Every structure is written in structure tokens, then in C-alpha cells.
Amino acid sequence: MQQASWIAVDWGTSNLRLWAIGPEGQVLAERSSADGMGGLEPDRFEPALLALAGDLLAPERKTDVLICGMAGARQGWVEAPYAAVPCAPAGGAPTPAPARDSRLSVRILPGLSQAGPADVMRGEETQIAGFLAGHPDFNGTLCLPGTHTKWVRVADGRITRFRTAMTGELFALLSTASVLRHSVSIEGFSEAAFLDGFDQAAASPLTLALDLFSIRPASLLADTAPEASRARLSGLLIGAELASVRDFWDGCPVVVIGTAALSQRYREGLHRLGAEAAISDHPALALEGLRAAHARFAKEKT
């Protein structure tokens, strides 16, 4: 295995993903594991990194490791303080993380914070930096759907404001841990039921808590299929979310950054509300953001 010039790491709550970068900027190796921040005590980060990437390190010198994401949270490897918006994404100074292995020089990028309304992100800012590296003139809104969906306003290369919706986490909790689990399948989907739920919630977002419960009686009284109930739950939550962030997408270019299926649902929903959205199909925007930050640090050093 060729030794890495430096290593780019996207360290989230559930997963650890890294890329070994060669002297020409080429990707020598891409690896991932389930050693997410959520399952690690602070002193277990270095062993998790070495287990996944130890053989990529040169024996006689320090290798730069640049990390974004939840590894910089208070419960992570070391807390990397937030940079406050408005600011460039991934533009703040990184925080060194303690490492015993003499081959490691580890730094963690800051997350972003917003004072009012109070909000935070860790990791998405680096994806956004990666997107802006490829689209430096983009002015508009980025939507990053997921466990905690981020809506981010970008202007002149800076993030001006953002909000977080708990849509993905609510979907997971309601479909697996609430009374709705008896009515909702683990897999499967019905486009028609998704759109029906979406339209209802987008038109009447105020009654979301009532309409969510209705999934249960609909299956008890009308034998609604579990796959349709699952899609309806997704539609209700995304419809209510889009209604709550109208100021982000109304009259503004939108790009959705996320997995294909989920991005498609958000684009479809925005389209039904009269907004057009593009989908970014780049497979690793975090890597591009880490590259941009690493290049900047190298330049600052010289």
C-alpha cells in the first residue's frame, strides 16, 4: 500500500469514512467503518483511526490527518469550537487533537453556530465547502436532508444563516418506536401515499401532530398497507418541513445535497410547491471540502 501524503476524514455520529490522499492529490484508498462518534469514548478515537488507516501512515514522519464532523463535538475526540455565521464554510482554524502515535498529526475542523435562532452544524459545513469549491459563484439555498436536515443560505461564498429540522430523526423514531410502528413497514414505499401525505401537510402543516396519529386508525379502520403508511409518514413530515422553511426556498435557487432517494423526495416536494431544485450528485462533497481546507492551511503555512 502506497503511503498517504495526508488523510481526509469525515467522522460522523454513526460512521467513520476516510480517504488517503497521494502526493498528486489522487485518492489512494477510501475506507469506512461503523466506529462513529456516538459509540466512542474520547480515548478510543485514535485506536479507531489507526485500526482503519494505520497501514497508510509513513513510518518515519508525521502524516496530516484532517477531520470534519462529530469527532469535534463536546463528546468527541476533542472539542473543536464553533465558528459563528456569517462566515465561509470550513474557513475557521482547526483544533489539534491529542495523539500518542508519533506518526499522527491530527486536526479537527470547527462546526458552525448561529446565535439567533440558536442552531449548530458539524460536518455539513465541509460538504458545503466542497460544493462551493465546484460552484464558487453559487448564491441561493442548499438543502442537506438527513437525520437533521440542514437548510443553508449561501451568498458570496459565505453561509449567512441556517436552520435545522429534525425530520429524519422524527421519521426514524415514529416509524420504529411509537404506536405507529404497528402500522408502518420497515421498508417499501408508495409514491402515491407519499404525495398524498405531502400535499396534506404542506396545505395544513398546523395539524401535523394530529395527522401523524391518523396513520394508526387508517390502518386499523381501512387496512392501509404498511408500505403506504410508511410513505405517508414521510410525506407528512417533509410537507410540514417545507412549509416551515418557505423563506429558504421561495424565490431562490435550491440545490439538494443528499442520498439519491431522499433528495428526489425533497425535489418532488419543492416542485409541487412551485419551486425548482437541482440535485447535487457528487459522491463525496466532504472530501472536496477537506481538500479545500487542507490546501488553505498549506498555503497559510508557507
The secondary structure of the chain in percent helix, strand, coil, rounded to multiples of 5, reads 45, 25, 35
209 binds its own copies (CB under 8 A): yes
| Least Å from the CB of residue 248 to its own copies | 10
Q: What is the footprint of its own copies within residues 165-194 (CB under 8 A)?
A: 165-167, 169-170, 173-174, 177-179, 182
Mark out the alpha helices in the chain (DSSP H runs): 45-53, 124-134, 167-177, 191-203, 208-213, 215-222, 226-244, 246-249, 260-272, 285-301
> Segment near its own copies (CB under 8 A), from 18-26, 131-139, 214-222, 254-262?
214-222
Residue from 49, 70, 48, 45 nearest 124 by CA: 70
| Least Å from the CB of residue 123 to its own copies | 14
27 binds its own copies (CB under 8 A): no
10 binds its own copies (CB under 8 A): no
DSSP secondary-structure letter at 87? Answer: B
b/e burial code for range 70-86 (CB count within 10 A of at least 16 → b) = bbbbeebbbbbebbebe
- Which secondary-structure segment (H or E) carries 28? strand 27-33
Q: What is the footprint of its own copies within residues 231-290 (CB under 8 A)?
A: 237, 240-241, 243-245
Q: What is the footprint of its own copies within residues 46-85 (CB under 8 A)?
A: 74-75, 82
Binder among 34, 58, 155, 220 for its own copies (CB under 8 A): 220
Of the two residues 54 and 86, which places its CB atom closer to its own copies in the complex? 86
For 199, other C-beta atoms within 10 Å of its C-beta total 16
| Least Å from the CB of residue 199 to its own copies | 15
| Least Å from the CB of residue 117 to its own copies | 6
95 binds its own copies (CB under 8 A): no
Residue from 214, 229, 237 nearest 183 by CA: 229
| Least Å from the CB of residue 221 to its own copies | 6
Binder among 118, 251, 283, 299 for its own copies (CB under 8 A): 118
14 binds its own copies (CB under 8 A): no
Kindly tell me the burial class for residue 189, based on how many C-beta atoms sit within 10 Å of its own C-beta (0-12, 13-18, 19 or more): middle
**Bridge partners for 32 per DSSP:** 17
Beta-strand relationship, 6-11 and 16-21: antiparallel
Read off the C-alpha cell for 179: 404506536
Residues that bind its own copies (CB under 8 A): 74-75, 82, 113-115, 117-120, 148, 163-167, 169-170, 173-174, 177-179, 182, 205-214, 216-218, 220-222, 237, 240-241, 243-245
